[in-house]
Amino acid sequence: MSRPYETREHDVLVVGAGGAGLRAAIEALARGASVGVVCKSLLGKAHTVMAEGGIAAAMANVDPADDWRAHFRDTMRGGKFLNNWRMAQIHAQEAPDRVRELEQWGALFDRTADGDILQRAFGGHTFKRLCHVGDRTGLEMIRTLQDRGVQMGFHVYMECAVTKLLTDGDRVCGAVGYWREQGRFVVFRAKSVVLATGGIGKAWKITSNSWEYTGDGMALAFDAGAELVDMEFVQFHPTGMVWPPGVQGLLVTEAVRGEGGVLRNRLGERFMERYDPEKLDLSTRDVVARAIYTEVREGRGTEHGGAFLDISQKPAEYVKRKLPSMYHQFLELADVDITKGPMEVGPTCHYMMGGVRVDAETAETSVPGLYAAGEVAAGLHGANRLGGNSLSDLLVFGRRAGLAAAERAGRTGPGAFDERQIDEATAEMLAFFERPDGESPYAVHRDLTETMQSLVGIFRNRDDLESGLAKIREFRDRWDRIRVEGSRLFNPGWHLARDLKAMLTVSEAVARSALRREESRGAHSRTDFARSDPTWGKKNIVVKRVGGAMELSERPVPEPPPDLKTILEAP
């Protein structure tokens, strides 16, 4: 049965309007393509606005010794050498130009005394490298890109969600979606599609991520036959708020430590001295998150189960100028004045290192015509991402994806798809309303987040992961019985029911990859395999749909050429 839908046509369709999506759209426009951008929220609200600390780029404005080689080395070391070396190289080499470009489009970064872009220290970066705007760098970036795109003339389809990619043989040629507002269906025909949908944090209970972060792009790509990689590597940011309950998980920027903030346990000990005596509070995120978790588990946590983070030794005016959002966030939501006393912080699910496997040069996935950039893609960060490397990732690979997608659109025709694909997608969406009774999507989602938090969290073991997978299978059965109340008009329960499907697919990929990797590396910590295993250090785990089922395989990590190896071996 055919259901009514409207059709839009573009050379390049970008799914997602955060930093990567907007940068991809700008580049594709600059190459003369007609570009449509689809986003689940209003333009300018994407998760990028929440990025606080800064953009990592070896501009050497503050530390003249910095250069791309040092940035490349830090990124690879932070990622425990599971990174795609070519992506890490391109990223380190191109990030400074991408930052300058933002400035030329109107972004206003904090300045050095010489009038250049100011850079701050961050975990795992050897030099002061993060270009920033107080602690609201992401907002500056998204506003700049948004204004640029609007001026260049992209079409933005706001509050629209994509539920399925359309394929012609093995290539992607469009997408099916629905308007969140009216609930009507829409079909996008496009010669190339760029996924820039971000991560999957909403599958965990304690998270810094918004409702949008439901793994959409990873699930869309997986369903279309693309490969996912490194799915076991989920970053828990060491410092989220822990109190009061309503703000649990809300991000406390690493810039607090970058500006001199110190972590202490209930006994007043600087416990990082025991976990990383050299880098202390500015160790990499995986190390600091595990340290706080361990302090709490061993009884040295704060009243509400966290650690103290203290910046009050710095002058109050300095704190307010460099960390204004943090100052207001704690004052207004937790009744804590951070210029006078410590914050209480604990780990929060923050970022997905894994995602869609892409080509380093073009950001093309293993499915022709489908590109992925930003958090939805994988490779740059390996087993652990350094703070500040995400915003630069969005710009560097967003641009490359937009460029390649536009070039492809210039040399291919529009694909043809059969109507059955659209019928299937719309039938699936309407089934939620047609069941006479069933469960609320909110109940299934609550249980999923509890499971991922307790069984697929910071520390993992075989038993937990196996029971987690069994639960995910139960949730799938429950998903089949979900019933949505009300109409199609702006119905959040309906939207969640759809997003849950993506979360279940991605959660399964995470749990299965975590079970497969029998070692501890970066953000993946197995209590039953506590050490790093050099054999596993040479392998990425790839997840792919084969004949309707999820299959895992191991793939050798690409070896860097000798000149880059020399850089990596430097002290």
Partner 1 sequence: MKEAVLRVFRGTADGGELVEYRVPVAPGMVVLDALHHIQGYLAPDLAVRWNCKAGKCGSCSAEVNGRPRLTCKTRMDSLPADRPIVVTPMKAFPVLRDLVTDVSWNYEVNRKIPPFSPRAGTDWKMSQADVDRVQEFRKCIECFLCQNVCHVLRDHGKKREFGGPRFFVRVAALEMHPLDGLSRTKLLKEELGLGYCNITKCCTEVCPEDIHITDNAIIPLKERVIDDFYDPLAKLLRKVFGRKRT
Site string for partner 1, 49-78 (x = CB under 8 A): xx----------------------------
CB of 570 to partner 1, least distance (A): 31
User: What separation in angstroms does the CA of 276 have from each of 272, 281, 299?
Assistant: 6, 8, 20
Residue 507 CB neighbours (<10 A): 27
Decide if residue 32 touches partner 1 (CB under 8 A).
no
Decide if residue 440 touches partner 1 (CB under 8 A).
yes
Q: Which of 6, 7, 32, 244 binds partner 1 (CB under 8 A)?
A: 244
CB of 112 to partner 1, least distance (A): 8
Nearer to partner 1, 153 or 562 (CB): 153
Cβ(343)–Cβ(309) under 8 Å? yes
Catalytic residue flag (residue 125): no
Could you identify the residue written with the tokens 């007609």? 34
Could you identify the residue written with the tokens 């010794």? 65
Which among 192, 221, 223, 167 has a CA at the least distance from the CA of 417? 167
Beta bridge partners of 195: 15, 372
Cβ(256)–Cβ(329) under 8 Å? no
Which among 44, 350, 367 has a CA at the least distance from the CA of 194? 367
Max CA-CA distance within the chain? 69
The structure tokens listed for 216 are 């959409």
Q: Of residues 98, 257, 285, 512, which has the active-site annotation?
A: 257
Stretch that binds partner 1, among 58-66, 83-91, 133-141, 338-346 (CB under 8 A): 133-141
Catalytic residue flag (residue 189): no
Nearer to partner 1, 336 or 386 (CB): 336
Q: Are strands 355-357 and 228-229 parallel, antiparallel or unpaired?
A: antiparallel
The burial class, CB within 10 Å (0-12 / 13-18 / 19+), for 128 is middle
Give, for 399, the enclosing helix (H) or strand (E). helix 389-411
Of residues 285-344, those binding partner 1 (CB under 8 A): 325, 328-329, 332-335
Q: Which region, left, alpha or beta, applies to residue 346 given φ > 0 means left and ψ of -120 to 50 means alpha?
A: beta
Decide if residue 148 touches partner 1 (CB under 8 A).
yes
Nearer to partner 1, 500 or 542 (CB): 500
Torsion sign over Cα 400, 72, 65, 58? positive
Cβ(499)–Cβ(203) under 8 Å? no
Radius of gyration of the chain (CA): 23
Cβ(33)–Cβ(49) under 8 Å? no
The burial class, CB within 10 Å (0-12 / 13-18 / 19+), for 93 is middle
Of residues 458-487, those binding partner 1 (CB under 8 A): 484-487
Q: Which of 111, 435, 481, 555 binds partner 1 (CB under 8 A)?
A: 111
Decide if residue 247 touches partner 1 (CB under 8 A).
yes
Stretch that binds partner 1, among 129-137, 391-399, 534-542, 549-557 (CB under 8 A): 129-137
Decide if residue 438 touches partner 1 (CB under 8 A).
no
Q: Of residues 10, 69, 237, 290, which has the active-site annotation?
A: 237
The rounded distance, in Å, linking the Cα atoms of 353 and 379 is 8
Stretch that binds partner 1, among 115-123, 277-285, 312-320, 402-410 (CB under 8 A): 115-123
The rounded distance, in Å, linking the Cα atoms of 538 and 543 is 17
Number of residues that bind partner 1 (CB under 8 A): 67
Which among 354, 217, 344 has a CA at the least distance from the CA of 292? 344
Nearer to partner 1, 405 or 429 (CB): 429
CB of 351 to partner 1, least distance (A): 15
Cβ neighbours of residue 535 closer than 8 Å, sequence gap 6 or more: none
Decide if residue 492 touches partner 1 (CB under 8 A).
yes
Stretch that binds partner 1, among 107-115, 269-277, 350-358, 523-531 (CB under 8 A): 107-115
Q: Which of 12, 17, 19, 41 binds partner 1 (CB under 8 A)?
A: 41
Of residues 501-530, those binding partner 1 (CB under 8 A): none
Nearer to partner 1, 153 or 277 (CB): 153
Nearer to partner 1, 114 or 477 (CB): 114
Nearer to partner 1, 42 or 530 (CB): 42
Q: What is the spatial order of strands in the sheet that 262-264 belongs to?
A: 234-241, 343-352, 307-310, 262-264
Which among 300, 304, 289, 301 has a CA at the least distance from the CA of 257? 289
Q: Which of 441, 457, 468, 560 binds partner 1 (CB under 8 A)?
A: 441
Site string for partner 1, 173-202 (x = CB under 8 A): --------x---------------------
CB of 103 to partner 1, least distance (A): 6
Decide if residue 433 touches partner 1 (CB under 8 A).
no
Active site residues per annotation: 237, 257
Name the site residues for partner 1 (rule: CB under 8 A).
Answer: 41-47, 49-50, 100, 103-106, 108-111, 114-116, 118, 133-134, 136, 138-140, 143, 147-148, 150-151, 158, 181, 210-212, 243-247, 250-251, 325, 328-329, 332-335, 440-442, 446, 484-487, 489-494, 496
